Structures are given as C-alpha cells and as structure tokens.
Amino acid sequence: MGCPRREVMMKKNDERSGIIIKPITLLLIITATIFASATLVDLILSIFPLLSLDKFTLLDAGLLTFLLFPVIYYFVFEPLTSYIDEVEQAKEALEVSEAKYRSLVETTDDSIYLVNMNCEYLFMNAKHRSRMGFFSEEYVGRAYGELHSPEETKIFTEEVKKVFTTGESLQHEHRSQRDDTYFLRTLSPIKGSDGEIFAVSVVSKNVTKVKQVDIW
C-alpha cells in the first residue's frame, strides 16, 4: 500500500506540471533526443559537406541544446519545481501542526510523558516536570523506579510491558503515593515509521475531586 501523502503530492504535481514521468522513460526520451540531434547534424552535413570543424561543432552543440532544453525543462525542471514546492508546503504545514500540538501538550493541566520499553523517561510535559521536580530535560533517561515506590514501579512496568506486547491502549485508576492524589492514567503505544512500537505515551488526569465526591 502506497503512502497517502505521497500519492496526494504526486496527484497535485500532475495537475500543476501536466506530467509525471518515470526515470527510465526520461532516460529514453533524452537518449532519443540526442539521437535525433546527431541525425539532423548528419543530414545538414550531407547538404553542406564543406562545413569546417568549428562550424560543425557549433552546429552540433546548438542543435543538441535546442532539442534538449525543452525536454529537460518540461520533463525534469517543471515537475521537480512543483514537487519541491509541495514538499515545502507540507513541511510548513507539519511545523505548524507540531507547534500547535506542542503548545497543547505543554499548557494542559494533565501530566503527559513518554517512556521506552525499560520504563525510562523520554519526554515530560511542563505539568509532569513540575510534579516530578524537574526544571529542564534532566529527566531524560531516568528510570520510572527512581522517582516512584517499588509497588508503583511494579504496576507501571507491567502495564508498559502489556502495551508493548498487545499494541493496544489501556486505562486504569492510579493513586500516587507521592501526594496521595488519584489519577486516571491512559497508556498508548507510539509507533515508528516501520510500524514497530518504540515508546508508550502516558496521559494522567487528576480525578481526586471526583473521587472525593464519590466517597462522600
């Protein structure tokens, strides 16, 4: 199955340049153009056999340039320019999307973080860094067990392992021994371009007030 984004970009490129061409086809076209140029030069020489070597060279180069320029422009330059424009637009759109996502993640009141298979931190948003007492990215590579009790670590490790094994998200209620607060914790798999899970994202929502209402 092809990449949807790439197929869309190729379709747009086709609409703008009027042609999508395979490399082998382009090679054949250029080869045929060179052959046609050489044939024309031979034909002209047969009509004007007394041309000097200098004039012959200029004629050959001029015909080759005259024939190759529109071919290269139409089949190479224009499609390539369109493709580069599409890539730049896609890159800008992706940067805007990432900026919006990062802003949302950093300003939310929920704790959001990523861990690898060994339960080592890869990312924490501002809310979670504040809870854990970090001011920058010194948390990267730190193990979950360094910041939590053995009991909490055992439960969390089993959950992360389950997400890596099943490839499915899971959700449960969790009581933090750090500040005796309750959280609804959602763990989800993060996959790379190869489809393999390389991390687990955790979104932890404080539900202490709701829990207190239920108790009362």
DSSP for 49-91 reads TT--HHHHHHHHHHHHHHHHHHHHIIIIIHHHHHHHHHHHHHH
Phi, psi (rounded to 5 degrees) for 116: -90, -170
Indicate whether 16 pLDDT > 90.
no
**Structural domain for 74, as ranges:** 4-105
Same domain, 175 and 77: no
Q: What is the mean pLDDT of the chain?
A: 81
Q: What digits encode the pLDDT tens for the residues 71-119?
A: 778 877 887 788 888 888 888 888 887 788 778 888 888 999 999 999 9
Q: Greater confidence, 73 or 191?
A: 191
> How many domains does the chain fold into?
2
Among the ranges given (42-56, 70-84, 140-154), the one the predictor scored with the smallest mean pLDDT:
42-56
Q: For residue 74, give the DSSP letter.
A: I
| Structure confidence at residue 3 as a pLDDT band (50, 70, 90) | very low
* Residue in the structure block whose two tokens are 């054949």: 28
Calpha distance 93→11 (Å, rounded): 18
Same domain, 13 and 89: yes
* Residue in the structure block whose two tokens are 């924490």: 124
Same domain, 72 and 164: no
For the whole model, what pTM was predicted?
0.57
Choose the final residue of a domain: 73, 105, 137.
105
- For the range 90-94, what are the long-range contacts, defined as Cβ-Cβ under 8 Å and sequence gap of 24 or more? 90/5, 90/9
